[in-house]
Amino acid sequence: MRGLGNTVLRLTAIRRAGLAAMADGDGRLTAMTGFGPNPGALDARIYVPDDLPANAPLVVVLHGCTQNAAVYDKGSGWSKLADRHGFALLYPEQRRANNHNLCFNWYAPADARRGDGEARSIARMIENMVAEHRLDASRIFVTGLSAGGAMTAVMLAAYPDLFAGGAIIAGLPFASANTLPEALERMRGSGGPSRIELAKRAKAAAPQRGAVPTLSVWHGTRDMIVDAANAVVIVDQWRDLHGLGETRSLVDRVDGHRREVWHDGDGRAVIEKYDIEGMGHGTPLATRGNEPCGTAGPHMLEANICSTSRIAESWGLTGTVATKRAAPAKPIVVAAAEPPRTRAIPVTPRRPTGVGAVIEDALRAAGLMR
């Protein structure tokens, strides 16, 4: 089991690499403002291809810590794929005032529950995008890396009515932590609620649960920042949400990497998990060859497999696989069920003692916590 000191050193390296890459976007995204109540105080960037037809799909993309929307878009190649296949992109973007390292606050109850904080801000952005660009509300998908992957789990659990599918890259299960020290332990693959408790929390996250979104999980086998054990726990949580129990999976290999798939009673693939052999912490890319995907950089990693195009294919966005949700398109109405709230002014907590104090002191010394 890796110690806290090693975890802090690796997080410090992420921060330094991310700060060096922050100005390296390519200007393809534009700002979206005036999208309504914003209790999580997030920014929004969007990409809408020229001549996008009505009822086009929407993909929501959540960047990782120390990244911004432009850097993640350039690295992942999502906007170039959107040009070729005709879908819109929404990039919620963290502000440094909310999190010093630009991580989405996936572990904080005030930001990681339906109707509150950052989760509700993202839902508002989606509502605005669908209305303004006449998008198909039955084909909305969400994906993210690391803290963005963990926030993807939050959005899928808390707002299952919004999404047809999601993809979590190097992320963590929904509601597996409620404090920063707990989050660090989960990242190391240590502790956490039982499988029964995690399923219970996910099932209770939304007031009414209809169709459960499909899920794609990606994780490097040599990830030293977020232990790959989290990918197994994510799958278990979603197997229980889909009512699959101990349903047997099918295993194959794609571009040299192990892929495991679970099907529902109708034979539909509802969960898949990719184990990216030898890869560390980041988004898998295939930057070489006849159809290069993405741009390698900090935590945007060459792996001879393009997670961006594979995920889009699994959602039916590239015309190869038809996975469109059967429900007809309909306007998204979030406001009716959730009266506007304002972001609460945080109360300074009592300083922790013991292990909690050691963890926070180490994070502050590394510049990872205010």
pLDDT digits (tens, 9 = 90+) for 138-197: 999 999 999 999 999 999 999 999 999 999 999 999 999 999 999 999 999 999 999 999
Q: What pLDDT, on a 0 to 100 scale, did the predictor assign at position 246?
A: 84
How sure is the predictor about 261, in pLDDT bands with cuts at 50, 70 and 90?
very high
pLDDT over 80 (residue 11) = no
Containing domain of residue 29, as a range?
A: 4-365
Residue 113 in contact with residue 205, Cβ under 8 Å? yes
Mean pLDDT of 322-333: 38
| 146 part of the active site | yes
Strands 88-93 and 43-47: antiparallel
Q: What pLDDT, on a 0 to 100 scale, did the predictor assign at position 321?
A: 40
Q: What pLDDT, on a 0 to 100 scale, did the predictor assign at position 290?
A: 83
Report residue 357 CA to chain centroid gap. 29
Q: What pLDDT, on a 0 to 100 scale, did the predictor assign at position 14?
A: 53
In a domain, 251, yes or no: yes
| pLDDT tens-digit series, residues 44-85 | 999 999 999 999 999 999 999 999 999 999 999 999 999 999
Residue 94 in contact with residue 104, Cβ under 8 Å? yes
Q: What total number of domains does the chain contain? A: 1
In a domain, 204, yes or no: yes
Select from 181, 179, 119 the least CA-distant residue to 153: 119
- Catalytic residue from among 146, 176, 216, 307: 146
How sure is the predictor about 208, in pLDDT bands with cuts at 50, 70 and 90?
confident
Mean pLDDT of 262-287: 97
Residue 232 buriedness (CB in 10 A; 0-12 / 13-18 / 19+): middle
Q: What percent of the chain has pLDDT over 90?
A: 75
Mean pLDDT of 217-234: 98
Ranges 126-135, 136-145, 311-320: which has the least confidence? 311-320
Residue 208 buriedness (CB in 10 A; 0-12 / 13-18 / 19+): exposed
Q: What pLDDT, on a 0 to 100 scale, did the predictor assign at position 209?
A: 74
In a domain, 319, yes or no: yes
Between the CA of residue 306 and those of 106, 137, 140, 286, 299, what are the distances in Å?
26, 26, 21, 5, 14
Residue 29 in contact with residue 45, Cβ under 8 Å? yes
How sure is the predictor about 334, in pLDDT bands with cuts at 50, 70 and 90?
very low
Mean pLDDT of 216-239: 98
In a domain, 370, yes or no: no
Between the CA of residue 296 and those of 17, 47, 77, 110, 253, what are the distances in Å?
13, 21, 10, 34, 23
pLDDT over 80 (residue 2) = no
47 - beta bridge partners? Answer: 89
The CATH number assigned to the domain holding 25 equals 3.40.50.1820
In a domain, 227, yes or no: yes
| pLDDT tens-digit series, residues 24-34 | 556 899 999 99
Select from 297, 322, 301 the least CA-distant residue to 312: 322
For the record, the structure tokens of 348 come out as 């300074």
| pLDDT tens-digit series, residues 91-109 | 999 999 999 999 999 999 9
Mean pLDDT of 232-244: 96
